[in-house]
A and B are shown apart, each in its own frame.
Chain A
Amino acid sequence: MMVVSDVFAHVVDALDVETFLVCMSENEGKNLALTMMKDMGFQDVDVVFVKFQGSGARVRVRAYINRPGDKYPWLDLEDTGEEES
């Protein structure tokens, strides 16, 4: 069940979020990143990169909006031609 919004229909495959999280360990950074994505409503998430150094962790965390083999909403972006009332 992906985040329901028209805009996400335009994402070809995935959405990456890159940020720096204050934390105490790589593990914490990873968990924070995953939680962050889930809080934003994404389900299919994974940490692509995490490096803890100093005061926190630099992360790249990914939400797959479409995986290969899914039905892609971006192929349906053209409307059907029906007139709006």
Chain B
Amino acid sequence: MKTLVIGIAGTAKNTGKTTTLSSILKEIKKGPGLSLALTSIGYDGESFDNVTGLPKPRIHVRPGDLVAVSERGLLFSSAKLELIREAGVMTPMGKVVTGRVVKQGKLVLAGPNNRRELRLVLDQLEALGVDITIVDGALSRIAPMVEADALVLSTGASRCREIPRLAEESGCMADILTTPALESRGRVEQVASILNQAGFNAFFEKCLAADTVRIQGVIGEKLLAMIADRSAQLVGKHLVFGDPMKLLLAGEIKSVHRILDTLEKGGIRVGVEKQVRLLAVTVNPYFPKYRYNKGDYEADYVDKDELLRSITESVRVPCFDVVAQGGEGVFGELMRFRDSF
């Protein structure tokens, strides 16, 4: 069976990606011997947060687990690996190596941090015949996650402390992430990225002349808004983006959502080539509160019940608080997806 690749993406730092990852790992360990590989597009593993100085959780791995991690992180990990190969990827923290855990312990997870290199590493892990590969995210970075089969999105008060606003944004995010696939029909044109007026003009001309325009790269928010402004001239056209990540990156999420809505209402079909499967959203009530008098950060929390309730109402996928509820729920979604895979 093909390896199932799950990405755990966050909406900001400290939204609980690593905690979510840990809870999933715990569930996997309880279950019937699923083989597991771990990697990351970022860096998790320090005892203290790089920027705020607050403690961060760390990943615990068991013998048999496969990992693809940057060398330098290994030096500070208590887990020991039997090295299988060098991945052929270089990161700021050294070469990425693939290995099998032989001594349990804490692992500093840092790995291939862009899409191309993640693809390389995922292929290598697949060749080793593993059941599940989990890719830990970093900050709010999401572009490489297009290589995953499905995503878990971690959000929380660290992204925004006001629950109603966070809920609204999460809803928008989930919507955008689940933008459906759209086929190219009729005359097809193609552009790279649309980042300035010149790029927009070139796109618009092609759009007028074609039925479908495939936008391979990214688009700036103002330029997306321009399309909406001139939607009257583009009724019936298909705009196909590479994947939903590119839409998420266009700009402020609620604005982008609004613009996409406008486009749809204006009769323009917007879709993606590669769809993303969003399995679940996890919520984290924690956020680092800046203390002006001391110039540092301390831990603070929003109402966790209200948070979970609001986000659940807002997004259309299952929602969990893995600290309060454990990882069973998220893991359940994973397994359900795997069965249908």
In the complex, A touching B, CB below 8 Å? yes
A28-60 Cβ-contact flags toward B at 8 Å (1 or 0): 000000000000000000000000000000000
Q: Is B161 an interface residue (CB 8 A)?
A: no
Within 8 A of A (CB), among B102-136: 103-106
Shortest Cβ gap from B28 to chain A (Å): 13
Shortest Cβ gap from A81 to chain B (Å): 3
Q: Are A83 and B104 in contact (CB under 8 A)?
A: yes
A61-85 Cβ-contact flags toward B at 8 Å (1 or 0): 0000000000000000011110110
The number of residues on chain B lying at the interface, defined by a beta carbon within 8 Å of a beta carbon of chain A, is 7
Q: Are B78 and A80 in contact (CB under 8 A)?
A: yes
Q: Is B219 an interface residue (CB 8 A)?
A: no
Q: How far is the CA of A81 from the CA of B65 in the complex (A)?
A: 14
Within 8 A of A (CB), among B37-79: 60, 78-79
B79-111 Cβ-contact flags toward A at 8 Å (1 or 0): 100000000000000000000000111100000
A83 CB contacts on chain B under 8 angstroms: 60, 104
Interface of B (DSSP majority class): strand
B79 CB contacts on chain A under 8 angstroms: 81
Q: How far is the CA of A78 from the CA of B104 in the complex (A)?
A: 13
The number of residues on chain A lying at the interface, defined by a beta carbon within 8 Å of a beta carbon of chain B, is 6
A80 CB contacts on chain B under 8 angstroms: 78, 105
* Interchain pairs with CB closer than 8 A, number: 15
A84 CB contacts on chain B under 8 angstroms: 60
A81 CB contacts on chain B under 8 angstroms: 78-79, 103-106
B78 CB contacts on chain A under 8 angstroms: 78-81
Q: How far is the CA of A83 from the CA of B78 in the complex (A)?
A: 11
Counting chain B CB atoms within 10 Å of each CB, the highest count among A79, A81, A84 belongs to A81
Shortest Cβ gap from B189 to chain A (Å): 55
Counting chain B CB atoms within 10 Å of each CB, the highest count among A78, A83, A84 belongs to A83
Q: How far is the CA of A50 from the CA of B106 in the complex (A)?
A: 46
Nearest CB in chain B to that of A78: its residue? B78
Q: How far is the CA of A24 from the CA of B60 in the complex (A)?
A: 58
Shortest Cβ gap from A10 to chain B (Å): 11
Q: How far is the CA of A78 from the CA of B105 in the complex (A)?
A: 10
A79 CB contacts on chain B under 8 angstroms: 78, 105-106
Q: How far is the CA of A84 from the CA of B57 in the complex (A)?
A: 11
Nearest CB in chain B to that of A79: its residue? B78
Q: How far is the CA of A29 from the CA of B104 in the complex (A)?
A: 53
Q: How far is the CA of A83 from the CA of B79 in the complex (A)?
A: 11
B106 CB contacts on chain A under 8 angstroms: 79, 81
A78 CB contacts on chain B under 8 angstroms: 78
Shortest Cβ gap from B237 to chain A (Å): 54
B60 CB contacts on chain A under 8 angstroms: 83-84
Nearest CB in chain B to that of A84: its residue? B60
Nearest CB in chain A to that of B25: its residue? A83
Within 8 A of B (CB), among A2-39: none
Shortest Cβ gap from A16 to chain B (Å): 24
Nearest CB in chain A to that of B29: its residue? A83
Q: How far is the CA of A26 from the CA of B105 in the complex (A)?
A: 53
Q: List 13 A-B contacts (CB under 8 A).
A: A78-B78, A79-B78, A79-B105, A79-B106, A80-B78, A80-B105, A81-B78, A81-B79, A81-B104, A81-B105, A83-B60, A83-B104, A84-B60
Question: Apart from A81-B79, A81-B103, what are 13 other A-B pairs with CB-CB below 8 Å?
Answer: A78-B78, A79-B78, A79-B105, A79-B106, A80-B78, A80-B105, A81-B78, A81-B104, A81-B105, A81-B106, A83-B60, A83-B104, A84-B60
Which 7 A-B residue pairs are closest in the complex by CB-CB distance?
A81-B105, A81-B78, A83-B60, A81-B104, A79-B78, A78-B78, A81-B103
Chain A residues with CB under 8 Å of chain B are: 78-81, 83-84
